[in-house]
Chains A and B, each alone.
Chain A
C-alpha cells in the first residue's frame, strides 16, 4: 500500500528498563488501513512495543509519529482516544454494558446515545445487551464489549494485544471474524500483537517479527511467514 498515507511511524523506538532493552531501536511505518501483526515468542517485546504506541510506557529513546506529529506533542488523553487499545483481558468497569460503552466519550464530556450504543452492540453481535450488568457476561461477550467500547471512541488506529488468547476456541473464532470484518469495514489502521502465527496469517496484511526487542523480519504476510 505505498500510495496510502502513513498514519503511524515509529522512529528508532526504544525502551530500556535497567540494563535490559525491552524494545530495541524499532523503525516502522504503518499506512492507513494496514493491519500489522507483531509476532514473536514470549518476552520478545511485542506487548512492550504496543504499550509504547499508546504511550502507556515512555520510550527511553526514539519516538512515535501519529499522522506526522510527534506523539509527545499530543495531550495523552487525546492521543489515547485516537489510538484505541483492546487488551488480552477485557477489563470491564462495574455497571451496565451501556455505561461501559459510554466510558470513553464521557471522559470528553460527551454522552453516547442509546442509538449509537445499540448500533455498536449489533455490530459486535450482541444486540439487546445494552442494559445488562457486565458481571453476567461470558469471556467472549466481555471481549466483544471491550472492542465495541474502544470503537465508541472512534479511534484512528486500533491496537490489539492478544485479543483472543484468553478465550475458548469457539469464542476465539467469533471474535477474530468480528475484528477482521470491523477493520475492513471501517478501514481502520490496526496493530495486533499475537503469539499465534496462523492467526497473524489469517488476519494481517503485514507482519513484523520480534526477538529480544529487535525486528528480525518485516514485510508482507507472504514475505515473512511463507518465505
Chain B
C-alpha cells in the first residue's frame, strides 16, 4: 500500500520506518497495560537507531569512494560504541566499559581479522562493513547478556559467594557457578540462530546477495558462514568478558565488591 502512496524511494523508506515504529509503539502500549514502562527507552532507541543508520548510510556513501583501510577505522569506532552501549546493561559492575570494549574487540575484532585474512570476508568496504557490523552487534548483545546475567546472579547469591570465601575459596572458585551460567545463557541466541537457520529465518544478507547477482546456493552457504562467525565472535566475547569481569568484582584482598546497596567506590 505504501509503495502506491510514495513514489520517491527516500519518502517510501521514511513511510515504512513510521509504519514499523507505530507497530513497535503498539507493543509498548500493550506492555504499559501490564505496568511495564518502556515508553521512554523505546522512543529513544527508535529515534537513535533511525538517526544512526541514516548517518552510517551517509558515511558509507563517502567511504565507498575512499581507500579500503578506512573500513578498519569505522569498525574500530563501532567497537567503541558497542562497548559503551553494552555497559548500560551492566550498571553497578565496576570497570564494565573497559571490560565490554576489550571483550567485543577481542571477540568480534579477532574473528573479523582472521576471516578477512583468510578471504572469507572481502576487504571491499561494501562487504567488510556490513558483515563486520553484524559480528560486532552480536558480540555487543552477547556481552550485554553475559554482564546482565552475571550481575543479577552475583547479587542474588552474595551469601553463597561470601560463604565460599569464608571457607577459604579463591574469588575464581567462589563465583565459578555464576560465571558458567552467565556464559551459557549469553550464547543461547547465537546457538538458536544457527539451529533455526533456513527454517525459521533467512538473514537479510542473503536477499542482498541474491539481488546483487550471487548464485542462490552460494548465498545460502554464506549465511551459514556468517552465522558461524557470529557464534565464534559471541562465544569469544563472552569468554573474555567473564574472564575480565571476575577481576573487577573483587578487591586485591579477595573481598566481594558487588553487593546490594553497596557502592564499590566507598570500600576502596
Q: Could you tell me which A residues sit within 8 Å of B by CB distance?
A: 17-18, 54-58, 72, 76-78, 80-81, 84-85, 87, 89, 91, 93, 103-104, 107-108, 146, 149-150, 153
In the complex, residue of chain B having the shortest beta-carbon distance to the beta carbon of A82: B168
Interface pair A80/B166, CB less than 8 Å apart: yes
Question: Is B44 an interface residue, CB under 8 A from the partner?
Answer: no
Task: Give CA–CA (A58, B162) in the complex, Å.
Answer: 14
Question: Is B212 an interface residue, CB under 8 A from the partner?
Answer: no
Task: Say which residue of B167, B170, B253, B266 sits within 8 Å of A55 (CB atoms).
Answer: B253
Interchain Cβ contacts under 8 Å between A and B, 15 examples: A17-B267, A56-B166, A57-B255, A57-B267, A58-B267, A72-B253, A76-B253, A76-B255, A77-B168, A84-B166, A87-B163, A89-B159, A91-B163, A107-B169, A153-B168
Question: Is B152 an interface residue, CB under 8 A from the partner?
Answer: no
Extra A-B contacts (20), CB below 8 Å, given A17-B266, A72-B253, A85-B163: A17-B267, A54-B166, A56-B166, A57-B255, A57-B267, A58-B267, A76-B254, A76-B255, A77-B170, A78-B168, A80-B166, A85-B166, A87-B159, A87-B162, A91-B159, A91-B160, A103-B164, A103-B169, A104-B168, A107-B169
Question: Is B251 an interface residue, CB under 8 A from the partner?
Answer: yes
In the complex, residue of chain A having the shortest beta-carbon distance to the beta carbon of B268: A58
Task: Give CA–CA (A91, B150) in the complex, Å.
Answer: 19
Question: Is B173 an interface residue, CB under 8 A from the partner?
Answer: yes
Q: What is the CB-to-nearest-CB distance from A13 to chain B, in angstroms, rounded to a whole number?
A: 15
In the complex, residue of chain A having the shortest beta-carbon distance to the beta carbon of B267: A58
Enumerate B135-181 residues with CB–CB distance to A below 8 Å.
Answer: 159-160, 162-170, 173
Task: Give CA–CA (A55, B253) in the complex, Å.
Answer: 8
Mark contacts of B235-268 with chain A using CB atoms, 8 A cut-off: 1 yes-contact digit, 0 otherwise. 0000000000000000101111000000000110
B-side contacts of A108, CB under 8 Å? 168
Tell me how many residues of B have a C-beta within 8 Å of chain A: 19
Task: Give CA–CA (A89, B163) in the complex, Å.
Answer: 10
Q: What is the CB-to-nearest-CB distance from A63 to chain B, in angstroms, rounded to a whole number?
A: 12
Q: What is the CB-to-nearest-CB distance from A130 to chain B, in angstroms, rounded to a whole number?
A: 18
Task: Give CA–CA (A215, B224) in the complex, Å.
Answer: 69
In the complex, residue of chain A having the shortest beta-carbon distance to the beta carbon of B157: A91
A-side contacts of B169, CB under 8 Å? 77, 103, 107
Interface pair A153/B167, CB less than 8 Å apart: yes
B-side contacts of A89, CB under 8 Å? 159
Task: Give CA–CA (A31, B240) in the complex, Å.
Answer: 47
B-side contacts of A17, CB under 8 Å? 266-267
Q: What is the CB-to-nearest-CB distance from B222 to chain A, in angstroms, rounded to a whole number?
A: 44
Q: What is the CB-to-nearest-CB distance from A50 to chain B, in angstroms, rounded to a whole number?
A: 10
A-side contacts of B167, CB under 8 Å? 80-81, 84, 103-104, 107, 149-150, 153
Q: What is the CB-to-nearest-CB distance from B164 to chain A, in angstroms, rounded to a whole number?
A: 7
Closest 4 CB pairs of A and B: A81-B168, A76-B254, A91-B163, A85-B166
CB contact under 8 A between A107 and B173, given known A78-B168, A80-B166, A87-B163: yes
Task: Give CA–CA (A98, B160) in the complex, Å.
Answer: 17
B-side contacts of A84, CB under 8 Å? 166-167
B-side contacts of A153, CB under 8 Å? 167-168
A-side contacts of B170, CB under 8 Å? 77, 107
Task: Give CA–CA (A107, B169) in the complex, Å.
Answer: 6
Task: Give CA–CA (A85, B159) in the complex, Å.
Answer: 12
Task: Give CA–CA (A55, B251) in the complex, Å.
Answer: 11
CB contact under 8 A between A55 and B164, given known A17-B267, A18-B266, A107-B169: no
A-side contacts of B166, CB under 8 Å? 54, 56, 80, 84-85, 87
Q: What is the CB-to-nearest-CB distance from A19 to chain B, in angstroms, rounded to a whole number?
A: 10
Q: What is the CB-to-nearest-CB distance from A98 to chain B, in angstroms, rounded to a whole number?
A: 15
Task: Give CA–CA (A73, B158) in the complex, Å.
Answer: 26
B-side contacts of A85, CB under 8 Å? 163, 166
Interface pair B168/A93, CB less than 8 Å apart: no
Task: Say which residue of A56, A72, A78, A150 sits within 8 Å of B162 (CB atoms).
Answer: A56
B-side contacts of A55, CB under 8 Å? 253, 255
A-side contacts of B163, CB under 8 Å? 85, 87, 91, 146
Interface pair B255/A77, CB less than 8 Å apart: no
B-side contacts of A93, CB under 8 Å? 160, 164
A-side contacts of B254, CB under 8 Å? 76-77
Task: Give CA–CA (A87, B164) in the complex, Å.
Answer: 11
Q: What is the CB-to-nearest-CB distance from A201 to chain B, in angstroms, rounded to a whole number?
A: 27
